[in-house]
A and B are shown apart, each in its own frame.
Chain A
Amino acid sequence: MNNLLVADSVSKNFGDFKALNNVFIEVPKGSIFGLLGPNGAGKTTLIRVINQITMPDTGHVLLDGEPLKAHHIQDIGYLPEERGLYKSMKVGEQALYLAQLKGLSKAEAKKRLKYWFDKLEIGDWWNKKIQELSKGMAQKIQFVVTVLHQPKLLIFDEPFSGFDPINANLIKDEILQLRDEGATVIFSTHRMESVEELCDHIALIHKSNKILDGKLQDIKRTYKTNTFEVGLVTSDEVLLTQIIKSKFETTTADFKSLNDDLKLNIKLKPGESSNDLLSFLTSNAEVNHFNELVPSANDIFIQTVKNS
């Protein structure tokens, strides 16, 4: 079994509103799976279905090949987007309580909390009340509580909101490390640069339907247009442009460079290879910059949502 989680034709209606329509996703073991979509697309509903907070109208969810049952709660760690902690409760007490709700014994929870608090250097917060902490500090504790019971599946909904760049990086590294230790991560966010950075698989949900999913690399491959960004140095830019335009489809490009180059985007026709282009260019000018334009997750997101 290569998939840790399979949601099979899951539908959910709230009254007349269709929140999820026959959604099918597969989350491979050990992957970081980006769950993307515009606001109100149904991501949170799907996550809640996986967490057994909301029951689907039709369809079912398999975790490690088994239909979801109450005991699976212990196998999932969920950091919701709308998150907070009891304001007037002490940090340590609260973390212990939440860990025990996830099935850890008090002694075990204490041991692991000590490990994590030391690791994130927040050990001296133990006896503070949440209301004395800043938002970012509280977020750290929520993160610890989410991962403490070493779940197979981690679900993070906008995990970096409220963090400064240093702490966001810290949390990102922790997520990667958890993945390396065998956890599978579902990651829901609107920040495409973190998708780019972290995710190996994605699914895109739009208006309650899944409209795209798969390996991020594969998706990028299907979305790429064989376009290359080049920076050329020549004595006669007008002539060079004419020569290139006669052979290839070009547009002007805009990228940052140190030199005052001629910047072009050149699109290859089917059958033409990047080597052909490169040797053509080198014979006509000095090539300073040569880069294949790969669509960003952001481009794919916008394009797919617009076209659907």
Chain B
Amino acid sequence: MNHLSLIIKREYLTKVRNKSFIIMTILSPIIMIALIAVVAYLSQLNNNKERTISILDESGLMSSVFENTEHTTYNVLNSLSLEEAKALVEENEEYGLLHIGKGTNINAVAKTIKFYSEDTPSLTLISNLESKLEKQLTDLKLQQGGVDVEKIKDSKTSINIAQESYAGEKTSKIDNIVKLAFGGIAGYLLFMFIIIYGNMIMRSVIEEKTSRIIEIIISSVKPIQLMMGKIIGTSLAGITQFVIWLILGSILMFVVSAIFGINMAEMQTPQQEVMQQAMASQDVQMQAQNMMAAIYNLPLTNMIVAFVLFFIGGYLLYSSLYAAIGAAVDNETDTQQFMMPILVPLILAVYVGVFTVIEDPHGTVSTVFSFIPLTSPVVMLMRIPFGVPLWQQLISLGLLIGTFMFTVWFAAKIYRVGILMYGKKPSYKDIYKWLKY
């Protein structure tokens, strides 16, 4: 066996046999899923609270508006004064009292509406009430104006603009959302991977320095072999961990939703809301079909190939920098000053990806950032689902590979000198000097 594969094997085995690694691998998805389940459960619990709301409608306009739901009972009060109603509601420990006053016209009535309660009422409840009242009052106004409400409802038309490029490629809003999701996941995955396993590489280099084994090793192998072996071995351990997370996570997700009957899909995040708005006008089956069609329409081959290439390129680029930092310092606390130049472009890449690619995947900013090697892996991965010309991908990849080779050379130089330097916390100036050793 040659040196490199020996080193890779050792790095991989020590990583995956490490107790904290094993615990993290098993525990992380459990904790994640448990957290999601708890949050879902709690928010359901919160919404599920039975509550009674009394309605004192002095205007007589709202008789048919409030229908009891599973969790909310509406108690319509009649012929009580406001003060009596308040006292009654308080005595019965009801959630609150909605008061609709008298008025000469609808606008005047609208201004009298008030909600009384012991504590501040929940935001969703208020907006729910507001929308009910608004709808009723608007309908009434339309009727007063002699408009047939039914006709208006009938006349509502739902539009989903079909998009087609000159070349005949069809897209739609759902397509775009699917693309965004895929690109976002790919970019974010790379970002997370770099942060987690880059750090792991750095720590492993520092460990070799602090345990003083480094000189024994490099009297047998070239520093660059050791560095590359470390990067590859750690990455393989990382991939193993990711795959286990993925499998364990899906199983747990399935089990948890089956047992607790929590529909995870009901959990709303702002992103999902955007998606739902886009789909609001379509029935479920249509939605599913459109989704499938959208996924099918993605440049899947291109995405997979690009994902692999940019992932490897971007990851190696950053991890060699992490290795160099690990070599330059004696302990983890000294790494802070060198982390900035790594983290800034990485975070920038994610922000640029998230904000500008959504806005315009082929705009100037996102295009430029998908060429700059330190940001290109993340940004390009986010752009590719929207269809990036091959020449752009190739140039970006070429630049990435070039930079990657330069970084590895640079990191190897620092590594070679740094691993034998003990005691002194190096400055940027020192490191610049090392390049000339």
Contact = CB atoms under 8 A, between A and B. Distances in A.
B216 A78 contact: yes
B436 A15 contact: yes
Interface in B206-234: 207-208, 211-213, 215-222
Interface stretch (A94-102, A111-119, A255-263): A94-102
A27 interface: no
Given A85-B211, A86-B211, A101 B437 contact: no
A15 B218 CA distance: 22
Given A15-B436, A88-B18, A142 B6 contact: no
Nearest to A99: B220
Contact of A97 (B10, B222, B422): B10
A78 B219 contact: yes
Contacts of A102: 220
Contacts of A70: 222
Given A82-B212, A82-B422, A85-B213, A76 B433 contact: no
B213 A86 contact: yes
Interface in B157-210: 207-208
Interface in B413-437: 420, 422, 433, 436-437
Contacts of B1: 100
B200 to A, nearest CB: 14
A138 B219 CA distance: 18
A142 B217 CA distance: 11
Contacts of B216: 78-80, 83-85, 98, 142, 145
Contacts of A76: 219
Interface string A64-108: 000000100100101110111111110000000110111000000
Interface in A30-56: 48, 51-53
B111 interface: no
Interface residues of A, number: 27
A175 B190 CA distance: 52
A102 B220 CA distance: 6
B437 A83 contact: no
B23 to A, nearest CB: 15
Contact of B215 (A52, A83, A101): A83
A53 B220 contact: no
Contacts of B213: 83-86
Contacts of A97: 6, 10
A14 B434 CA distance: 8
Which of A52, A73, A83, A84 lies at the interface centre, i.e. has the most chain B CB atoms within 10 A of its CB? A84
A5 B403 CA distance: 41
Contacts, number: 63
Interface residues of B, number: 25
A88 B14 CA distance: 8
Contact of A51 (B207, B211, B219): B219
B3 A84 contact: no
Interface in B229-258: none
Contacts of A51: 219
Contacts of A98: 216-217, 220
Contacts of B437: 14-15
Interface in A281-308: none
Interface in B384-436: 420, 422, 433, 436
B220 A101 contact: yes
A183 B149 CA distance: 104
Contacts of A85: 211, 213, 216
Contacts of B218: 53
Given A98-B220, A101-B3, A84 B211 contact: yes
Contacts of B433: 15
Interface in A176-235: none
Contact of A84 (B14, B212, B220, B222): B212
Contacts of B10: 97
A298 B10 CA distance: 45
B283 to A, nearest CB: 58
A70 B213 CA distance: 20
Contacts of A100: 1, 6
A15 B426 CA distance: 15
Contacts of A52: 219
A73 B217 CA distance: 11
Interface in B1-29: 1, 3, 6-7, 10, 14, 18
A273 to B, nearest CB: 51
Nearest to B220: A101
A14 B416 CA distance: 13
Contacts of A15: 433, 436-437
A268 to B, nearest CB: 49
Nearest to A101: B220
Given A15-B437, A88-B18, A101 B217 contact: yes
Nearest to B222: A70
A132 to B, nearest CB: 14
A259 B83 CA distance: 123
Given A14-B437, A53-B219, A53-B420, A101 B212 contact: no
Interface of B: 1, 3, 6-7, 10, 14, 18, 207-208, 211-213, 215-222, 420, 422, 433, 436-437
17 contacts: A14-B437, A15-B433, A48-B420, A53-B219, A70-B222, A73-B219, A73-B221, A80-B216, A82-B215, A86-B14, A86-B208, A86-B213, A87-B207, A87-B211, A88-B14, A98-B217, A101-B221
Given A53-B219, A83-B213, 4 more contacts: A15-B436, A70-B222, A73-B220, A84-B213
Interface of A: 14-15, 48, 51-53, 70, 73, 76, 78-80, 82-89, 97-98, 100-102, 142, 145
